[in-house]
Structure 1
Amino acid sequence: MDRVWLFYAIQIAASGYAFLRGGAPERLTALALLLAAASTGMVQRDTPVLFAGLEVGVMIIDLILLAVMITITLHADRFWPAWVTALHALGTGAHLARAISPDVIRLVYAVLSAVWSYPIVLLLVIGTVRHSQRIRARGWDLDWSHQDPTTR
C-alpha cells in the first residue's frame, strides 16, 4: 500500500506543478488524472481482494479518463497528450484482456492496468516544462489547435 501513497504524492506534485505553470491542456489533464486517481482509490477501498476478477469500477473510471484524454488530444496544440492517451489506452486494454480471458493472472492484470500511470505523470511534467519554456522564449503558447494566434 506504500506504493499507492507514493504514487498519490507524485501525482499531486505533478498536478500542482501543471496547475501553476501549465496551459489549459496541462491543467485539464492534471485535473482529470487527479479525479481518476481519487475515484479509483474510492472504488478499490471496499474491495477485499483486488484484481481477482474484472475490476468493473476501475474499468469505468479508466474508460471515462480515456474519453477525456482523447478529447484533450484532439483539441490541444500539443503532442504529448497523444502519448498520454496511448499509454492510458494500454492500461485500459488490460481490462479488455481480463474480460475476454478470465484466466489472465491476477498480478499481470494489476500491473498492466497500473504501470502506465507513472510514465503518464512524467509526460504531464514534461509537457508542463515545455509549455513554460515556450512561454519564456516567445511570451505566448497556444493551448488549443483551433485557437486564433492573434487573440492571445
Structure 2
Amino acid sequence: MDRVWVFYAIQLTASGYALLRGGAPERLTGLALLLAALSTSVIQRDIPVLFAGMEVGVMIVDLILLVVMIVITLHADRFWPAWVTALHALGTGAHLAKAISPDVIRLVYAVLSAVWSYPIVLLLVIGTVRHSRRIQAKGWDLDWSRQDQTIR
C-alpha cells in the first residue's frame, strides 16, 4: 500500500507543476490524471480483494480518461499527449484482457493496468518543462492546433 501513496504523491506533484507552469494541454492533462487517480482511490476503497475479478469502476474511470486524452491529443499542438494516450490505452486494454479471459492472473491484471501510470506522469512533467522552456525562449507557445487554416 505504501507504493500507492508514493504514486499519489508523485501524481499530485506532477499535476501541481503542470497546473502552475503548463499550457492548456498540460493543465488539462494534469487535472484529468489527478481526478482519475482520486476517483480510482475512492472506487477501490470498498473492494476487499483488488483485481480478483473485473474492476468495472476502475475500467469506467480509465475509459473516461482515455476519451479525455484522445480529445486533448487531437487538438493540442504537442506530440507528448499522443504518447500519454497510447500508454493509457495499453493500461485500459488490461480490462479488455480480463473481460476476454477471466483466468488472467490477478497480479498480471493489476500490473498491466497500473504500470503505465509512471511513464505517463513522467511525460506530463517533460511536456510541462518543454512548454516552460519554449515560453522562456520565444515568449509564447501555441497550445492548440489551428484548425481554421486551410491547406494550400
Shorter-chain TM-score tier? over 0.9
TM-score (norm 2): 0.96
What residue number does 1:42 align with? 42
Matched AA of 2:133: Q
Unaligned runs of 5+ in 1: none
Matched AA of 2:3: R
Q: How big is the alpha-carbon RMSD for the aligned residues of Structure 1 and Structure 2? A: 0.9
Matched AA of 1:67: V
What is the alpha-carbon distance in structure 1 between the residues aligned to residue 147 and residue 77 of structure 2? 9
Count matched residues. 148
Which runs of 4 or more aligned residues in structure 1 lie more than 2 Å from their structure 2 counterparts after TM superposition?
A: none
What is the alpha-carbon distance in structure 2 between the residues aligned to residue 75 and residue 18 of structure 1? 18
* 1:79-133 deviation per Cα after TM superposition (whole angstroms, max 9, x unaligned): 0000000000000000000000001000000000000000000000000000001
What residue number does 2:12 align with? 12
What is the alpha-carbon distance in structure 2 between the residues aligned to residue 131 and residue 30 of structure 1? 14
What residue number does 2:56 align with? 56
What residue number does 2:26 align with? 26
Matched AA of 1:134: R
Matched AA of 2:68: V
What residue number does 1:67 align with? 67
What residue number does 2:135 align with? 135
What is the alpha-carbon distance in structure 1 between the residues aligned to residue 141 and residue 32 of structure 2? 21
What is the alpha-carbon distance in structure 1 between the residues aligned to residue 28 and residue 62 of structure 2? 16
TM-score (norm 1): 0.96
Unaligned runs of 5+ in 2: none
* Percent of aligned positions that are identical: 87
What is the alpha-carbon distance in structure 1 between the residues aligned to residue 122 and residue 83 of structure 2? 11
What is the alpha-carbon distance in structure 2 between the residues aligned to residue 45 and residue 27 of structure 1? 27
User: How big is the shift at 1:145?
Assistant: 0.2
What residue number does 1:79 align with? 79
Q: Secondary structure at the match of 1:30?
A: helix
What residue number does 1:96 align with? 96
